[in-house]
Amino acid sequence: MAHFPDTPSFSGTLRPSRIEGDILDLEIEGQVPDQLAGTFHRVHPDAQFAPRFEDDQFFNGDGMVSLFRFQNGRIDFRQRYAHTDKWLLERAAGKALFGAYRNPLTDDEAVKGRIRGTANTNVLVHAGMLYAMKEDSPCLLMDPLTLESFGYTDFGGKLQSQTFCAHPKIDPVTGNLCAFSYGARGLMTTDMAYIEISPTGELVKEIPFHNQYYCMMHDFGVTEDYAVFTTMPLISNWERLEQRKPFFGFDTSMPCYMGVLPRNGDARDLRWFRTDNCFVGHVMNAFNEGTKVHIDMPVSANNSFPFFPDVNDAPFDPVAGRGYLTRWTVDMARNDDRLDRIERLVDVPDEFPRIDDRYATQAYRHGWMLILDTDKPYEGPGGAFYALTNTLGHVDLATGKRKSWWAGPQCAIQEPCFIPRSADAPEGEGYVVALVDNHVTNYSDLAIFDAQHVEDGPIARAKLPMRLRQGLHGNWADESKLAA
C-alpha cells in the first residue's frame, strides 16, 4: 500500500517508475549503425519506497541504472536498482528508513551512522566496472553488463575521502579517471581532495585541500596540467538541518571562486580566483594553453534550483536561473586573485553540455547540449524537474555556428552522449544518443543522431514500451572497454 506524496516531485511526469527488467532486441525505427558496439549506461532517481516525508525531493531518489547494449545494429535493454547500503537496509525493512535529502537528523534510529548515498547521479565504465556515483557518498561498483551491485569501494582501503564526486573525467592521455571529493571528512567540512584512479582501478593520487567555504561542488574541470574547481554559494550548515530546511540554500551575497590546482602539486600550489556572485552548472570541458586556464560551463545570474531556495527567502526567478555556456579564463601569470576573462559562448539557455570525450582536458571544438527553447509550444502535463529541455543543440566553437533539433510539443530530451564513429575518427565525427521522452504518450525512445547533423533529427530510434523517469547522467563505453 505504497503512497507517494501528491507533489510535483512524485506526480505528473515525475510519477515513480521503479521498474527493473530486461528487454532483448528493442524495436528499432530507422537503422542503428552496425559499427556501434558497446554500452550506453544512464541513471535516474527513483525512490524504492514511499519517502518518510511529504516534502521529499527528486534528488533524493534511489539510483535506477539503465543499460542499452549495442551489438550488430541491435540494442538490448536492462534496468536495475543500484544496491547501495541504503537500498539494502530499506529493502530488508520493507520501507524507507533514511529521511530528507542529505539530512541525517531525519533518519530512523535503526540506520544512524550508515552511508546515506543513493548512487543516483552518474554511471561510467572504468577498470572493467560500472562506477555508480552520488557526490555525498563513496563510489558504488556494479557489473557493466549484468548490473549486479558489488557495494561501495574505498579503492583497497587507500582512499581517505568519505565521498566521491559524480562528475569524473577520463584523461585521454593517461587513461586515468580524474575525480574529486567534497565534504571529504564529513558533512559541512570544507575538506576536499583531487583524486586519480588508474585504468586498472588503483588509486594513484589523492591531494587534500580546503574549499573557500562549504557548498555544493557538483562538477569540475580537468586540463592536461590542472584540476579546476568552481565554488558558488549553494551553501549549507547544521543550523539549516536542525531547522529542517532544504539542505542547500543559495546566498546571493557571497562571491564565487575558480580554484586551480596543479595535478602534480599539493594544496600549497592551489590558487583561488574570485569573481562575482552567480550560479554555475555542468562543465563542458576545461583546458590550458600557456599560462591561461579555461573552463566552460553554463553560468546564470542567479540560482537554477527552485528546490534549493534563496537563504533570505527571495522568490525563485526562473529567467535569472537560466544558464548560458560561458568560458571562464584565469591567467596563472597574474599576481592578483581575479578572473582574466569571462566570455559567453552560446546565446540560448542551455544545460547538460557534453563533448567528444577523447578531447577531455584538451583544446576542443565540438559540444552538444540541451537547450531550453522558450519560443516552442508544450502540450504535456509539465512538472519537469528543471526547465523543459525541449531541444538538442550542437555548437562548433571554432566557427560559433549552432545547430539544433526541437523534439516537438510533447517531448523533453535527456542528457546527450557523444559516440565517436571509430577510435581514430576526427573530433566530433560520430553519433549522439539521447533519450526522448514523450510526456503525452508516456513512451521514451533512445534517439541516435549524426553528431554533425543533429538538425536532421534522429537517424534511428530504439523504442521503449514505457517512459523512463527523468534522469541525470550517462556514458558510452566502447566494446573494447568492457573487455578490460
Question: How far apart are CB 120 and ligand V55 at their closest, in Å?
Answer: 5
Determine if 59 is a binding residue for ligand V55 (CB under 6 A). yes
Q: Does 66 bind ligand V55 (CB under 6 A)?
A: no
For the bound state, the minimum distance from the C-beta of residue 233 to ligand V55, rounded and expressed in Å, comes to 15
State which residue, 125 or 165, has the beta carbon closest to ligand V55.
165
Min CB(247)–ligand V55 separation in Å: 9
Residue number, 46 or 90, with CB nearest to ligand V55: 46
**CB closer to ligand V55, 120 vs 288:** 120
> Cβ 117 to ligand V55, closest distance in Å?
10
Q: CB count, 10 Å around CB of 175?
A: 14
If binding is defined by CB under 6 A, does position 137 make contact with ligand V55? Answer: no
Query: What's the rounded Cα separation, in Å, for the pair 415 and 433?
Result: 9
Residues touching ligand V55, count (CB under 6 A): 6
Q: According to CB under 6 A, which one of 218, 366, 402, 467 is a site residue for ligand V55? A: 218
Does 121 bind ligand V55 (CB under 6 A)? Our answer is yes
Q: Which is nearer to ligand V55, 340 or 351 (CB)?
A: 351
Give the nearest distance from C-beta 44 to ligand V55 in angstroms: 9
For the bound state, the minimum distance from the C-beta of residue 386 to ligand V55, rounded and expressed in Å, comes to 8
Shortest-Cβ-distance residue relative to ligand V55? 59
Q: Is residue 182 a contact point for ligand V55 (CB under 6 A)?
A: no
Q: Does 405 bind ligand V55 (CB under 6 A)?
A: no
In whole angstroms, the minimum distance from the beta carbon of 204 to ligand V55 comes to: 27
Q: Is 120 in the site for ligand V55 (CB under 6 A)?
A: yes
Q: How far apart are the C-alpha atoms of 35 and 26, rounded to whole Å?
A: 17
The verdict on 361 binding ligand V55 (CB under 6 A) reads: no
Which of 45, 138, 416, 474 is close enough to bind ligand V55 by CB under 6 A? 45
Task: Rule CB under 6 A: choose which of 472, 474, 476, 477 binds ligand V55.
Answer: 472
CA distance 431 to 424: 14
For ligand V55, the binding residues (CB under 6 A) are 45, 59, 120-121, 218, 472
